[in-house]
Chain A
Amino acid sequence: MIVFNVWSLLQWYLRPIIKWLLRKTTKLCELQRICYGDKAGAARTCNVEKSLMLSRTRDVQEVVSFLDAVVLEKRFTPNNFYSILDPSVSIIIRVKKINPKLHGSFIVSFRRCLEQIWSYRSLVNEIEELRKTQFDSNNVEHEEKLVRLWSLLVPQEPLESRITKQWQYIGFQGDDPKTDFRGMGLLGLENLLFFASAYPQASSHVLSHSQHPKYGYTFAIVGINLTSMAYYLLKDGSAKTFMFNDKSCLPSATLFHKFYCYLFYEFDKMWIESKPQNIMEFSMIFKKFENAIRIELADPASVFRINIEVDTV
């Protein structure tokens, strides 16, 4: 504890000195050094975020709180980027005395970092809202989603009624899934639905594993527990590696669902490979899986490929 305090105190005083020295020797500010030096993706974006959060320049702090406020107002969407990000980037360029003509590529990559950082923050709120929405059997939309999940996973067999033992076939606990979503709310259902609709082959492959006579598990219940894992990884920032290393899209609900699908597919693999005696080994293997994922996410160079389309024979 004391060692930690001394270190953070040292950092507090040393950081500006080191920054000043580097600035004088490289003629670049910290943000430029990051954008030019670090590999695009999680490495760069996380360092830019850290630099912005640690900044003691008032203008930079104001940009940060402005962008946070935009996120709270739910206005941080791609069609607003122009009007939101241009002024923010101009302020940073002015404060840091960066010549925009010389450093055009900096502006492009810095802007991309801002898009990623605040899209992620926006996503955290969006996912939290979904999680807090309880599954409600009186809501037609919720009900429709639940029934759609069934028809996507088990297209060959229609549901006999809304309340039926059939639900246990896809791994719900009883006759009515409504009580199974618990603290994950609608998010748990949306995750499952995305897995079934975006990766029909992979999800039916995983579902068939879950019905293995020896290594079977409860598909939907395990899925809801994986929602919880994905949710915590998003909230504590671990999922940034996954999201920022995605070259084609910014953090969004879709990307979160993809992250979930990746987790589900990988968990299923680990479960089958572990050859568990029965479902009572779930918590142990689940913990082991989470640790493995956290180690992967801790390395900003990790690239997560969802190889699920090609996997099914």
Chain B
Amino acid sequence: MGLLNILKKLRSNPDKELRLLLLGLDNAGKTTLLKQLASEDVNHVTPTAGFNIKSVLSNGFKLNVWDIGGQRKIRPYWRNYFENTDILIYVVDCSDHQRLEETSLELTELLQDEKLRGVPLLVYANKQDLATALPASEIAQHLGLHLIRDRTWQIQACVATDGTGVKEGMEWVCKNIPVKK
């Protein structure tokens, strides 16, 4: 097994392995997005107790995607997963008007954290298929994205259940990989 492992190590470029952190309120669609990225069935999703992790190959990168449960009780544990994050992906349920403020507050708090300083941010404005969903531009305003100065960011409208817009977001991710120190 030794030789095979060495060959594998030589072939895979360690710089091309990325750690993606998927956060957002409960019912935002994080797990569905994760399943969509891994081309798995999205119809059997259950609420996440704890976290899920999957490795996905995309545009020549190996993406290790960490999907952490969004329930209020779990949010204090989010911090334990910040270390070495390459890209932060924040998922918003655009049809959940009542909790727009809550999701905005959580994001603001995340962006102030020392461990996530300078980490590029991708916001998925999810559930665009629902009639009550706010457009991505309005979500961006609510979240105050245009005030962000210390990192690159992007907002991407999407429908995680059928994959619309998901690929575009990931392309942005692969183009905005931070240079490793």
Contacts and interface: CB of A to CB of B under 8 A. Distances in A.
Interface of A: 131, 168, 173-174, 179-180, 182-184, 188, 217-218, 221-222, 224-225, 227-228, 231, 278-284, 286
B49 A182 contact: no
Nearest to A285: B50
B60 interface: no
Nearest to A276: B50
B26 interface: yes
Nearest to A188: B46
Contacts of A284: 50
B43 A279 contact: no
B44 A183 contact: yes
Contact of A280 (B27, B46, B80): B80
10 contacts: A173-B26, A173-B70, A173-B71, A182-B46, A183-B44, A224-B47, A278-B77, A279-B49, A279-B73, A281-B50
Q: How large is the interface on B (under 10, 10 to 19, 20 to 34, 35 or more residues)?
A: 20 to 34
B72 interface: yes
A49 B26 CA distance: 43
Contact of A282 (B27, B49, B72): B49
Interface string B64-75: 000001111110
Given A174-B26, A280-B80, A283-B52, A183 B73 contact: no
A227 B44 CA distance: 11
A179 B73 contact: no
B78 to A, nearest CB: 10
B47 A182 contact: yes
Contacts of B74: 279-280
